[in-house]
Chains A and B, each alone.
Chain A
Amino acid sequence: TQLLEQSPQFLSIQEGENLTVYCNSSSVFSSLQWYRQEPGEGPVLLVTVVTGGEVKKLKRLTFQFGDARKDSSLHITAAQPGDTGLYLCAGPDSGTYKYIFGTGTRLKVLA
């Protein structure tokens, strides 16, 4: 069974600080997705990374897919209170139409 582990589980930082969230697996994934979930809402897709070594940028967010496609990271530069939320990574379960979700990283950015 493929698993996705995220670290850290919780993160509380001051506005303006940088942070990195990790999503790791012992299995190879064909792609990985990152979602952000705000309180009372469903997750919303931020990005999908497909190619090993791929780097994608979304304003102050930088996403990287590991060369071996077993891990991914999300780096936020100069965090803002609006970045507060639950960050989830997810990947397709090989050979099925199911998705596996990571354990999540709950980020709080203090003004």
Chain B
Amino acid sequence: NAGVTQTPKFRILKIGQSMTLQCTQDMNHNYMYWYRQDPGMGLKLIYYSVGAGITDKGEVPNGYNVSRSTTEDFPLRLELAAPSQTSVYFCASVLGGDGNQPQHFGDGTRLSIL
């Protein structure tokens, strides 16, 4: 029972490099989310998706892009890495959109931009 799987777990990038953070879920959830968590802080929403082919911006979308070609996968793309993007990134999925369903989180990707 994998749940939400994120890869890689750790990554160091140089300023200006690009990378894709992978997220996949096997629970057939329609709703998926990308958050970043800075040290000692809560979670800030980057992008979210309510189904395949549909994505929308969250609170801090600048510098990121997403796609949702399938229900299972929701990759997050950093095009030109900047030191301000050093953070821990969490992907989450939810079964329904009524706000009462639990969010299922992956274990995160720890990203450092040097």
Q: List the interface of chain A (C-beta within 8 A of B).
A: 6, 30-31, 33, 35, 40-45, 48, 50, 88, 90-92, 97-99, 101-104, 106
Contact = CB atoms under 8 A, between A and B. Distances in A.
Q: How large is the interface on B (under 10, 10 to 19, 20 to 34, 35 or more residues)?
A: 20 to 34
Contacts of B35: 101
A42 B107 contact: yes
A108 to B, nearest CB: 13
Given A33-B103, A40-B108, A92-B99, 9 more contacts: A6-B42, A42-B90, A42-B92, A43-B90, A90-B103, A97-B48, A98-B58, A99-B45, A103-B42
A92 B101 CA distance: 10
Interface of B: 4, 31, 33, 35, 40-45, 48, 50, 58, 90, 92, 97-100, 102-103, 105-108
A88 B98 CA distance: 19
Contacts of A41: 107-108
A31 B100 contact: yes
Contacts of A90: 43, 103
Contacts of B42: 6, 88, 101-104
Nearest to A43: B105
A106 B43 CA distance: 14
A33 B102 contact: yes
Counting from the closest, the 6 A-B pairs by CB-CB distance are A92-B99, A42-B105, A45-B102, A101-B43, A101-B42, A104-B42
